[in-house]
């Protein structure tokens, strides 16, 4: 299969600074997105630490297969998914340690949603309310559960989805990186097929657009970079109440098969924090 991706980040129409960060490491088919919290520049610090930590941990593991795993191993997950979960544990420790060492960063934290594609398997690891979606055959499926107070109230039947959308408590998280030395991580793996589209996004997108709007845009915009930028434009047109970060990944059948490997010598990596377009 051939993996094509694009990403962008924007401050939105209301906020004064961008606390989101993202990285695309095409040589690894690794995609990482984080939404920071903590006010002033500290949310930006937390999200950047988290994203960099995941990339560092995965790179180390690909170079050293005996690198230790963090967290409790799960027999239901494949080795790559367990490694990705370990990377999120590592990110949590880095953010927590930085806040401990720098008193001015006390209270900072971040969401983190990351995806790693190996052969025909997709690994996802997640903390917070940034989301991962999979578009397949025109149907948009949310792969992650929001670790937020209102999402938990919806799951328990206390609120309806419509009431949750109007709640003033949408930003209250039950889980985030950096709050404690340990964190509970959701991780899972999925088979992936040609024509699948993967979306990672911060809540600045999902609070401004409906899922049908997102699905329609992903279907209409076949270029991942154009799709990411279009989604951000639409979110801003609807108010842009928060920072907006989007990663779009398309999985295509590769007509050239094994010959593609000869073109992978040039590493392409994208990242963004507080810069429109994520460059």
Those residues with Cβ within 8 angstroms of residue 45's Cβ, 6 or more apart along the chain or in another chain: 36, 38, 98, 105, 108
Does residue 237 fall inside a structural domain? yes
Q: Comparing 54-58, 111-115, 170-174, which segment has the lowest mean pLDDT?
A: 170-174
- The 3-state DSSP composition of the chain as helix, strand, coil percent (nearest 5) reads 35, 30, 40
Does residue 195 fall inside a structural domain? yes
Q: Tens of pLDDT along 180-234?
A: 999 999 999 999 999 999 999 999 999 999 999 999 999 999 999 999 999 999 9
Domain with 62 in it: 2-272
Q: Tens of pLDDT along 135-184?
A: 999 999 999 999 877 766 777 787 877 777 777 667 777 899 998 999 99
Are the CB atoms for 133 and 214 separated by under 8 Å?
yes
CATH number of residue 146's parent domain: 3.60.40.10
Those residues with Cβ within 8 angstroms of residue 218's Cβ, 6 or more apart along the chain or in another chain: 135, 140, 197, 199, 227, 248
CA-wise closest residue to 49 among 112, 104, 135, 101? 112
Nearest 5°: phi and psi at 203?
-70, -10
pLDDT value, residue 266: 38
Are the CB atoms for 8 and 276 separated by under 8 Å?
yes
Does residue 277 fall inside a structural domain? no
CA-wise closest residue to 175 among 73, 88, 94, 238? 88
Number of structural domains in the chain: 1
Report which DSSP code applies to 162. H
Q: Tens of pLDDT along 245-269?
A: 999 999 998 766 544 444 443 345 6
Q: Tens of pLDDT along 58-74?
A: 999 999 988 999 998 88
Does residue 279 fall inside a structural domain? no
Question: Which H or E element spans position 52?
Answer: helix 42-63
């Amino acid at each position: 299969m051939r993996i094509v991706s694009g990403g962008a980040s924007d401050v939105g129409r209301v906020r004064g600074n961008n606390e989101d960060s993202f990285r695309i490491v095409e040589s690894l088919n690794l995609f990482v997105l984080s939404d920071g919290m903590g006010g002033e520049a500290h949310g930006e610090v937390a999200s950047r630490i988290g994203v960099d930590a995941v990339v560092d941990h995965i790179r180390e593991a690909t170079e050293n297969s005996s690198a230790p795993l963090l967290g409790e191993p799960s027999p239901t997950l494949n080795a790559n998914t367990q490694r990705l979960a370990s990377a999120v544990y590592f990110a949590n420790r880095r953010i927590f340690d930085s806040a401990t060492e720098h008193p001015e960063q006390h209270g900072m934290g971040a969401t983190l949603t990351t995806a790693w594609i190996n052969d025909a398997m997709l690994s996802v690891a997640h903390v917070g309310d940034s989301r991962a979606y999979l578009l397949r055959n025109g149907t948009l499926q949310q792969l992650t559960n929001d670790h937020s107070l209102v999402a938990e109230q919806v799951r328990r039947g206390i609120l309806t989805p419509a009431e949750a959308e109007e709640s003033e408590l949408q930003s209250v998280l039950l889980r985030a990186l950096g709050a404690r030395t340990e964190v509970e991580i959701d991780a899972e793996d999925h088979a992936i097929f040609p024509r699948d589209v993967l979306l990672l996004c911060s809540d600045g997108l999902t609070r401004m657009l409906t899922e049908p709007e997102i699905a329609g845009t992903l279907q209409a915009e076949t270029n991942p970079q154009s799709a990411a930028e279009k989604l951000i434009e639409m979110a801003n047109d609807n108010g842009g109440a928060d920072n907006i970060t989007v990663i779009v990944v398309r999985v295509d059948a590769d007509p050239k098969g094994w010959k593609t490997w000869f073109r992978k010598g040039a590493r392409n990596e994208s990242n963004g924090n507080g810069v429109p377009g994520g460059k």
